[in-house]
Amino acid sequence: MDITDKTERLELYKDRNTQAFLSKFLSGEIGELLPVYDPKTGYHYPVVEAILGDSSEANAFLNKLYDAGVLNRKLYDKVVYCPKCSSASISIRYCCTYCKSFDVQRSALIEHVKCGYMDVEENFRKGDKLVCPKCHEELKKMDVDYRRAGTWCTCNDCGKSFDIPVTGHFCRDCNSIFTFEDAVITDVYSYSLKEEAREEAAIGWVAMAPIREFLAENGFEVESPAFLKGKSGANHMFDIAARKGKTPQKVTVIDLAMAGEGVSEQPVIALFAKIFDVAPGTAYLIAIPKMSENGKKMAELYKIKIIEAENSREAIRKLEEELLQK
């Protein structure tokens, strides 16, 4: 798995919209996200739009999650849009190969098995019976007396006949007619959550929830994710900020990082850059399941407390020792 993709995903999991969206997969509310069709504007993802509060951002939001490897996608449909006015209200026209008129009559071709005569169905019609125009015998049973031999088109404008019409498009909104070459065609996907993303997301912020709760139960005022303003005036995001009392210097900031093979020094450096500006009382980095040696050395240098834990329960136990001894 690509490391930059993983970093990108971990960033995405911190986003509230992403959390709200992915929690629908994690809770089982959505197995697969299917687009919903609107005859005027084409496909939509109402679930996503409700979360974002803006329908124009839905596709970009889903693309971002797909690019970062959070979502799988499957081709669901293609939508044809008018090249002139972008409407999705498009009808398909089957046109004459000679004069391009769409006033085309489609007929079924019928073959009389016994005499071999073939013609369009209308020429066999005698009232509600089918009678062969050549040998005048009545055709009773399909696949015994006669068989269907495909379709045959006749143009009502130029009178010529052909078997396969050419396809054209008509925009019901601006009345323009356009061909396949000019049509704007968009792929529409259904989405599902990738298995590895399900695990990452579950640890990434589902693990965070019990930690937040623990802090709140112990009289902390908890903000998560928290945006704290630094001396430089910039806002920095921490996974959790917890404070007791009103003194701003006493704020405890917590970031959570995880990596199967051990957390690298990268989150330590990132946390240091933030606490350098924000100057909190204490800074913790919860490393799931463990911290690399390099990371530990750096954390000591930067005065960041490392909590190594297999899961959130162990993290809480260790945080408890740390916080309640004061």
Where does this chain bind Zn ion (CB under 5 A)? 82, 84-85, 87, 96, 98-99, 101, 112, 115, 117, 132, 134-135, 155, 157-158, 171, 173-174
Q: What is the DSSP letter of 218?
A: T
CA distance 104 to 100: 9
DSSP 218-255: TT-EEESSEEEE-TTS-EEEESEEEESSS-GGG-EEEE
In the complex with Zn ion, the residue whose CB is nearer, 97 or 192, is: 97
Q: Are 286 and 256 in contact (CB under 8 A)?
A: yes
Q: Which is nearer to Zn ion, 176 or 190 (CB)?
A: 176
Kind of pairing, strands 226-229 and 235-238? antiparallel
Taking the complex as a whole, the smallest distance from the CB of residue 140 to Zn ion amounts, in Å, to 13
Nearer to Zn ion by C-beta: 132 or 257? 132
Of 17, 63, 286, 20, residue with least CA distance to 187: 63
Distance CA 12, CA 18 (A): 6
Q: Toward Zn ion, which CB reaches closer, 72 or 123?
A: 123
Name the helix (H) or strand (E) containing 311: none
Q: Are strands 161-162 and 184-193 parallel, antiparallel or unpaired?
A: unpaired
**Tell me, what DSSP letter sits at residue 164?**
S
Q: Which of 78, 95, 97, 85 is nearest to 171 (CA)?
A: 85
Least distance in Å: CB of 202 to Zn ion? Answer: 46
One-letter amino acid for residue 93 of the chain: R
CA triple 210-260-281, angle to 5 deg: 50
**CB closer to Zn ion, 44 vs 84:** 84
* Nearest distance from C-beta of residue 83 to Zn ion, angstroms: 8
| Cα 324 from chain centre | 44
Query: Smaller CB distance to Zn ion: residue 151 or 218?
Result: 151
* Tokens 């629908």 belong to residue: 24
Cα gap 118→150, rounded to integer Å: 11
**Strand 252-258 vs strand 282-288: parallel, antiparallel, or unpaired?**
parallel
CB 165 to Zn ion: min, Å: 10
52 vs 109, which CB is nearer to Zn ion? 109
- Closest CB to Zn ion among 114 and 313? 114
Whether omega before 35 lies within 30 degrees of 0, making that bond cis, reads no
